[in-house]
Amino acid sequence: MAETETAGGQSKKATIMTIVGLAVLTLLGAGGGWVVGDMVAPSIKGVEQAEQAKAAKDEAAQKKEGEAGLPRISTEANNIVQLEPITTNLAYPSESLVRLEVALLFNGPPDVKVAEDVHQDILAYVRTVSLQQIEGPRGFEYLKDDIQERVDLRAQGRVSKVMFRTFVVE
């Protein structure tokens, strides 16, 4: 019996020493990680700040380029009104999105109220169109004709032409 007690005592002692050893190694690993993190973190913060400054510069450059690059359509000079982009989902499949940028050529001075009414009418119409109806060149031509017809009805002859600037289906 004396042998089993000493063997049991030694195994308890060995277990406690193993636990203490693991605790010491864990503390050493955590401390080492803390030190390395403090050495690396300042350089990461510096890189993030540099990236933010570069992004701000790029954004400012794009704004300047956008103003100097492609000019916006002037409404006074040529009786053209560029409508706000229309982005909406299609009737089927409803997961598909369409984005249209349309400009209207007025017969006389541009009428903002008519342009807004036409914008809302085009938006309402595009929501009723399915992807199968606008597939291919023939489908796009039908869409253009339908929108021109709706504009003619809404504007009562004040708009002579609908010009598509962009048409994207996703």
pLDDT for 94-122, tens place per residue? 899 999 999 999 998 888 899 999 999 99
What is the arithmetic mean of pLDDT over 7-24?
A: 85
CA–CA separation, 87 and 136 (whole Å): 20
Tell me what the pLDDT averaged over the chain comes to.
83
Lowest mean pLDDT across 61-70, 73-82, 101-110, 111-120: 61-70
Query: Residue 47 — very low, low, confident or very high, per pLDDT cuts 50/70/90?
Result: low
Query: Residue 1 — very low, low, confident or very high, per pLDDT cuts 50/70/90?
Result: very low
Report the percentage of the chain scoring pLDDT > 70. 80
> What is the three-class DSSP state of 104?
strand
133 compared with 60, residue with greater pLDDT: 133
The confidence score (pLDDT) of residue 44 equals 67
The confidence score (pLDDT) of residue 149 equals 94
What is the arithmetic mean of pLDDT over 8-17?
A: 82
Going by their DSSP bridges, the two strands 159-169 and 97-106 should be labelled as: antiparallel
41 compared with 75, residue with greater pLDDT: 41
Does the pTM surpass 0.85? The reply is no
pLDDT at 65 over 60: no
For the chain, the helix, strand and coil percentages under 3-state DSSP, each to the nearest 5: 65, 20, 20
Which of 169, 168, 166, 159 has the alpha carbon at shortest distance from 81? 159
Q: For domain 75-169, give the fold.
A: Tetrahydropterin Synthase; Chain A (3.30.479)
